Amino acid sequence: MEFHYPNGKKYRREPSPQKSNNKEKIISYSKRGMTLEEDLNETNLYYLSKGMAVIHKKPTPIQIVQVDYQSRSTAVIKEAYFRQASTTDYNGVYKGKYIDFEAKETQSNTSFPLRNFHEHQINHMKNVVSHNGIAFVILRFVNADEVFLLESKDLFSFWDRMESGGRKSIKREEIISCGHRIEYGLHPRIDYLKVIQQLLLI
């Protein structure tokens, strides 16, 4: 099925990491192989069930333009367009604070490509911050299976550097230096609110 942005450009999703068939690894790392989105969705369900926060993945409205409709039970969408440019992946409320963030994965071992972000997403996060909301990104290095929370102010700095003719990516060392590493847990899986609480001292 094909999806298109409002400008007609085809949407391409980055490939998810392949799940290992190695039984020993499955035993040692019980939930590795899940995508970042799956991990975050599970985490948000835990937050909701414990009354800690209400944070959801934003639905993206689409316009269906082609359907293979041989029968009601076998209808398949063949082509669709995003009705509008997406902003960020997740939003919600935590202790009276508006939370808004994007989640991205990369197969690179050395840097995080800024092309993974779009200008309208950066502008959206800047607008959130201007109204005293909390905006950030959660980044995952797939091969190393490392997850970091990068504050919006640092993302804006790297973005502005690129716009000024600098690097088109964020070095892994830079993310380690200014970001906040999140260790995997069981419940919750990716406890990013622990980082937010420390940053806000709430």
pLDDT tens digit string along 118-149? 999 999 999 999 999 999 999 999 999 999 99
First to last CA, the chain: 44
Provide the pairing of β-strand 169-171 with 111-113.
antiparallel
Residue 46: its H or E element: helix 36-49
Please report which confidence band the pLDDT of residue 200 belongs to, taking 50, 70 and 90 as the band edges: confident
With 60 as the cut, is the pLDDT of residue 80 above it?
Answer: no
**Integer Cα distance of 44 and 37 in angstroms:** 10
Domain 2-200 has CATH 1.10.150.120: no
Backbone angles phi, psi at 59, to 5 degrees: -75, 145
**Integer Cα distance of 141 and 139 in angstroms:** 7
**Integer Cα distance of 59 and 40 in angstroms:** 15
The pLDDT of 83-101, averaged and rounded, is: 85
Answering whether pTM is above 0.75, one says: no
Backbone angles phi, psi at 10, to 5 degrees: -70, 140
What's the pLDDT at 21?
Answer: 46
Please report which confidence band the pLDDT of residue 25 belongs to, taking 50, 70 and 90 as the band edges: very low
b/e 161-192 (16+ beta carbons within 10 angstroms → b): eeeeeeeebbebebbeebbbebebeeebbbbb
**Integer Cα distance of 107 and 36 in angstroms:** 12
What's the pLDDT at 40?
Answer: 96
Give the three-state DSSP class for 103: strand
What's the pLDDT at 199?
Answer: 85
